[in-house]
Amino acid sequence: MNQQKKFVVFILRQPLKFLKRVFIGFRKNQGVLLSGAVAYYTLLSIIPLFTLILIGFSHVVDERQLLEMVAQNLELVVPGFAQTIIEEIQKFLEHRRFIGVIGIVFLVFFSSMAFTVLENAMSVIFFHRVQINRRHFLVSAILPYIYILLVGIGFLTITIISGALQAASGRQITLLAWSLGVDEFSSTILYLLGIIGLILLLTSFYMVMPVGKIRLKHALVGGITAGVLWEGIRRFLIWYFSTISMVNVIYGSLATGVVALLSLEAAAMILLLGAQVIAEYERLDLEKEDTVEETEGMHT
């Protein structure tokens, strides 16, 4: 514990030195290239993933409600272009009767690719863990599908809450001396639920994706930081692409794909930079242990 306090004091006293170390490590690990790979495979997975969720849960919840929730939460990931993706998903759903077992298998496979690539990217950043521990290949194979299930359950939960809020529409809630209508804060509640869900997902990435164990406190701090940073950048991207960007002029019909890819790469870079911060913090501890062992060896 005292050793960890020393590391925290070191970082607080010399934040620029630690940040320099983080960025050097990120560059050595080809962080920008890894971010691009994660963004590309996320873009490849996003339509199959949400199509799979809609097909799976449309038997339980109204499909229109599910589409609304997917659109709202996609706006947190691909700002400004969620509706375009929803339109593509709707086109796919219109022909769902032609989807057989092979079609479902392909949907599941492509949905899992983003999680698989993210796990590989985390292995590169946490290379010091991989040198010590190895994850069984079956765990790596199953992990993406567990995430698909968890994302689906998350959307189902938010959709049920949304349905409950719609059912309570027009009612008044009295809190102390204040009287508020459900309609006034339902959109805020759904927005906050989306943000909380995103932070929990990011936290789980930091805890589960790297080999070995990461403290919940470190993962939660990383998840909150990444979530807040992304929300700020997301709002900037919405403003930029809607006002001064010339992407539509340059790329024409490809603009939607390019903007989605750039947005996802920005998100992936924030996620992997957060992982790099945690990795560098851990390596401070490892370097200290190596120094102590070398000193003891010299004395003996």
Q: For residue 61, with 0-12 CB atoms within 10 Å meaning exposed, 13-18 middle and 19 or more buried, which class applies?
A: middle
Provide the domain limits for residue 290.
Answer: 2-299
Q: What is the pLDDT of residues 40-88, one digit of tens each?
A: 998 888 888 888 888 777 777 777 877 887 887 788 777 777 788 888 8
Q: What is the pLDDT of residues 107-159, one digit of tens each?
A: 888 888 888 899 889 888 888 776 666 777 788 888 888 888 888 888 778 77
Q: What is the pLDDT of residues 175-198, one digit of tens each?
A: 555 655 556 667 777 788 888 888
Q: What percent of the chain has pLDDT over 90?
A: 8
Q: How far apart are CA 91 and CA 52, in angstroms?
A: 14
Note the pLDDT of residue 296. Answer: 47
pLDDT of 33 strictly over 90: yes
Domain count, the chain: 1
Q: How far apart are CA 79 and CA 241, in angstroms?
A: 9
DSSP of 184-242, one letter per residue?
HHHHHHHHHHHHHHHHHHHHHHHHHSSSS---HHHHHHHHHHHHHHHHHHHHHHHHHHH
- For the chain, give the mean pLDDT: 78
